[in-house]
Structure 1
Amino acid sequence: MIVVMKAGAAKKDKDEVLKRIKELGYKPHVIHGTTRDVIGAIGDERGKLVLQQLESMHGVESVVPILQPYKLASSEVKKERSVIRISDTVAIGGPEVIIMAGPCSVESEEQIIESAKAVKAAGAHILRGGAFKPRTSPYSFQGLEEEGLKLLAKARDLTGLPFVTEVINPETVELVAEYSDILQIGARNSQNFALLKKVGQINKPILLKRGMAMTIQEFLMSAEYIMAEGNQSVILCERGIRTFETATRNTLDLSAIPVLKTKTHLPVVADPSHGTGNYHYVGPMSLAAIAGGADGLIIEVHPDPERASSDGPQSLKPKKFARLMEQMRKVAEAVERSL
């Protein structure tokens, strides 16, 4: 159920509603709108009719049931789009298409600094780089861990770019949050519910990638796990799903972008690098994703992909990325966005 407060409702009225929701055995979540606040009451669906009594309280306009199983992520709860603030100058979900770029893995100080300077010069807004790497093979490069986080922080200090990096288990959430601006939940962990709950308890934006075999509803239920713990700053990322096709690493489901934007108020970005697995296809899919309504892109860029420790075949060289940025600006303008 959601409790819709009247426009201009007094703080004391909202506090009384929050208190009563807790007394009834439900967990309240306040969602701030442009003209009024909405309070989600999360708990056992079987007894939700008892919440109808809240309609008689001061400052309450209505109590409305949410039909979707994902409550806080649903566009039924919040009609206007959510804008997630990353830094003083960067926000995802507004009119500007936000570009996150950098190498798959942090390999050395020289490599990440060179990458950060290159993507910054091309116009990227956020640096990406992996310090902890979940790999299919236990013998593959697993990342530099905390040393990688320190190098990412140094790159941020030198360029001014906030950075996004992956967290792979609940035990390291606080460590990664200490350094990073955005915590990424990768496809392999998109239904790691213990990890989702843990990142839901921190005050940092979360980039949640779609699992390689996830339906849209399952994807949004994973977002719900994070939001139900109190963290409303969730960014959804379409990164390709596994199909019978073998010409690409994954099948980038661009139709998921407009579908998600009708079902949820959360920002939606796309990952054409993992979605295709081949640098030849990253450019066309990036342009298509912006045309399809993506609020941002996360693109792998490496100064020397041939020697990359991970995902070299899908990484763009800095010059190719700079050229792609020019093309993406034109597409963004064509769909009344900026970049």
Structure 2
Amino acid sequence: MSTAEIDKLRIKVDEIDLKLRDMLNERAGLVKDISRLKKVHGLPSFDPIREREMLNHIADNNEGPFETGTLQHIFKEIFKAGLELQENDHRKALLVSRRKKAEDTIVQVNQDSIGDGIQRLVAGPCSVESYEQTARVAESLKKHGLALLRGGAFKPRTSPYDFQGLGLEGLKILKRVADEYNLSVISEIVSPKDIETAEEYIDVIQIGARNMQNFELLKEAGKSNKPVLLKRGLAATIEEFMNAAEYIISSGNENIILCERGIRTYERATRNTLDISAVPILKQETHLPVLVDVTHSTGRRDLLLPTAKAALAIGADGIMAEVHPDPAVALSDAAQQMDLEQFDQFVEQLKKYGLHTNEK
């Protein structure tokens, strides 16, 4: 065969490639139309029965020279690409998506801005136990020039017999301490009916991991004029996490802070498994600020500093950690809270890695 004949055949191959390109794009357009209709009827994107029918149709009508298995493998990749196209369209439509809003959302919490490129620390006791306990922690935060106090007043616990928090009294203690030390308060609310009351006492509504898909709570938080800190669920995918945030933003509240706090895996060395890669993924996929809770993700005091360094290094907008005047007698999560001396060392070390404080 001469070189000229080879060139002619290559030209035909190139022409077929272009036809294949056009047909694949035409197919993709039809897949997107089907996807839109499925959403209208509440049907799932992936239909395994339909995929099997298409693969059988290809096998029954294959005349070679490709083997049937080879063709089916190629078409499975085409089907997969079509499904990813549908999922990308869905993400593009989300109000929390970076595709919907290119610039970063900056959430203002009194004197602090979350998501402005300055990395901050949120700290406080797991549970508010008394005024004295909370005030001692607040004093330590103030000493370091920190302004974001966390503390649990309503505590959703795995066991119904564990300490459930002081409730409204805990919120009142947080408010009193915050006023005295000029701090902003972040505290978890577990029931939609408590949000209106909580707004009088706290600056940021926290929705915890166990309530990430409490959709009525999400919608009610979306009606609030307070910022919302949303924690990732124990076994939630990033897509599910983003959709939970979408419930809030679609209800009218754009001031959302995401918080990676570890997910449940087979690993038992830590309380949860810190998905540190979730930080850059969320920063790329959404325009919302992202915090990392190093306390609940590890459940170990000895791992708080290295994981906090990792979170700062990978671009988190801030760290969340728990501190207690005397962790040994804490009413909840004693093993994972720092005492005040350890907290001092924690803050001093993180300053070297970019942590911002207002300390003079």
Q: TM-score normalised by the shorter chain: which range applies?
A: 0.7 to 0.9
From 270, 276, 286, the equivalent of 1:254 is 276
1:195 aligns with 2:217: yes
Q: Which residue of structure 1 lines up, in the alignment, with residue 50 of structure 2?
A: none
Residue 95 of structure 1, CA deviation: 2.0
Residue 113 of structure 1, CA deviation: 0.7
Root-mean-square deviation over aligned CA pairs: 1.8
Q: Which residue of structure 1 lines up, in the alignment, with residue 167 of structure 2?
A: 145
* C-alpha distance in 1 between matches for 2:97 and 2:306: 30
Residue 298 of structure 1, CA deviation: 1.0
CA separation of 1:126 and 1:338: change in aligned 2, threshold 3 A: closer
* C-alpha distance in 1 between matches for 2:303 and 2:232: 20
Q: Which residue of structure 2 lines up, in the alignment, with residue 223 of structure 1?
A: 245
* C-alpha distance in 2 between matches for 1:74 and 1:299: 27
| Residues 224-233 or 319-328, more deviating | 319-328
In 1, are the aligned partners of 2:147 and 2:182 still within 8 Å (CA)? Answer: no
3-state SS, counterpart of residue 94 of structure 1? coil
Q: Which residue of structure 1 lines up, in the alignment, with residue 11 of structure 2?
A: none
The letter of the residue matching 2:94 is K
CA separation of 1:47 and 1:313: change in aligned 2, threshold 3 A: closer
* C-alpha distance in 1 between matches for 2:338 and 2:302: 9
The letter of the residue matching 1:159 is Y
1:174 aligns with 2:196: yes
Q: Which residue of structure 2 lines up, in the alignment, with residue 183 of structure 1?
A: 205
* C-alpha distance in 2 between matches for 1:114 and 1:288: 28
**Relative to total residues, which structure has the larger helix share, 1 or 2?**
2
The letter of the residue matching 2:208 is G
1:99 aligns with 2:121: yes
Structure 1 runs (4+) deviating above 2 angstroms are 45-48, 122-125
From 88, 95, 99, the equivalent of 1:72 is 95
In 1, are the aligned partners of 2:263 and 2:297 still within 8 Å (CA)? Answer: yes
3-state SS, counterpart of residue 247 of structure 1? coil
1:108-142 per-residue CA deviation (whole Å, 9 max, x = no partner) reads: 11101111111221232200001111011111111
| Residues 304-313 or 69-78, more deviating | 69-78
Aligned pairs for 1:80-99 (under 5 A) are: 80-87=103-110, 89-99=111-121
CA separation of 1:85 and 1:66: change in aligned 2, threshold 3 A: farther
In 2, are the aligned partners of 1:122 and 1:321 still within 8 Å (CA)? Answer: no
Q: Percent identity of the aligned residues?
A: 49
3-state SS, counterpart of residue 324 of structure 2? coil
1:239 aligns with 2:271: no
Aligned pairs for 1:27-42 (under 5 A) are: none
- Unaligned 5+ segments in structure 2 are 1-35, 40-87
1:133-174 per-residue CA deviation (whole Å, 9 max, x = no partner) reads: 101111111111111111000111111010100000111111
TM-score when normalising by structure 2: 0.74
The letter of the residue matching 1:321 is F
In 2, are the aligned partners of 1:66 and 1:76 still within 8 Å (CA)? Answer: no
Q: Which residue of structure 2 lines up, in the alignment, with residue 161 of structure 1?
A: 183
From 141, 145, 154, the equivalent of 1:132 is 154
Larger Rg, first or second structure (1 or 2): 2
* C-alpha distance in 2 between matches for 1:123 and 1:243: 36
Residue 302 of structure 1, CA deviation: 0.4
Aligned pairs, number: 275
1:317 aligns with 2:339: yes
* C-alpha distance in 2 between matches for 1:229 and 1:77: 16
* C-alpha distance in 1 between matches for 2:93 and 2:274: 24
Residue 175 of structure 1, CA deviation: 1.2
In 2, are the aligned partners of 1:82 and 1:267 still within 8 Å (CA)? Answer: yes
Residue 69 of structure 1, CA deviation: 6.2
1:264 aligns with 2:286: yes
| Residues 272-281 or 319-328, more deviating | 319-328
* C-alpha distance in 2 between matches for 1:106 and 1:207: 18
**Relative to total residues, which structure has the larger strand share, 1 or 2?**
1
CA separation of 1:138 and 1:292: change in aligned 2, threshold 3 A: same
In 2, are the aligned partners of 1:98 and 1:125 still within 8 Å (CA)? Answer: no
In 1, are the aligned partners of 2:129 and 2:170 still within 8 Å (CA)? Answer: yes
Q: Which residue of structure 2 lines up, in the alignment, with residue 29 of structure 1?
A: none
* C-alpha distance in 2 between matches for 1:229 and 1:105: 29
1:158-197 per-residue CA deviation (whole Å, 9 max, x = no partner) reads: 1101010000011111111221000000000000001000
* C-alpha distance in 2 between matches for 1:120 and 1:293: 25
Residue 67 of structure 1, CA deviation: 4.5
* C-alpha distance in 2 between matches for 1:69 and 1:223: 14
Q: Which residue of structure 2 lines up, in the alignment, with residue 30 of structure 1?
A: none
* C-alpha distance in 2 between matches for 1:257 and 1:221: 16
1:117 aligns with 2:163: no
